[in-house]
Amino acid sequence: EILYRYDIELIEDHPERLEISFQKPIKRIDSDDPDDDRRVVQYVREGFTKDKTVLRPQEIVVKRYSGAKEA
């Protein structure tokens, strides 16, 4: 309620893929599947905005394609 009084809003968007404009990856999980690149695995901490400005980005765990080398 206090945040609401100051027009601070929770970022309610939870996209399947990394959206760097309002998300901050805090952990990376390597993946051998190129389709998993930039896929959000877990939301660790919610983010907030005020007047369309990000005050605190969402903190997430994201998968990254590691470009696995074939033996």
pLDDT band at 71 (very low <50, low <70, confident <90, very high): very low
pLDDT by residue (tens digit) across 4-18?
899 999 999 999 999
Q: What is the pTM of this model?
A: 0.83
| pLDDT (0 to 100) of residue 68 | 53
pLDDT by residue (tens digit) across 18-46?
999 999 999 999 999 999 999 999 999 99
DSSP secondary structure string for all residues of 30-49: EES-GGGTTEEEEEEE--EE
Helix, strand, or coil here: 52? coil
pLDDT band at 50 (very low <50, low <70, confident <90, very high): very high
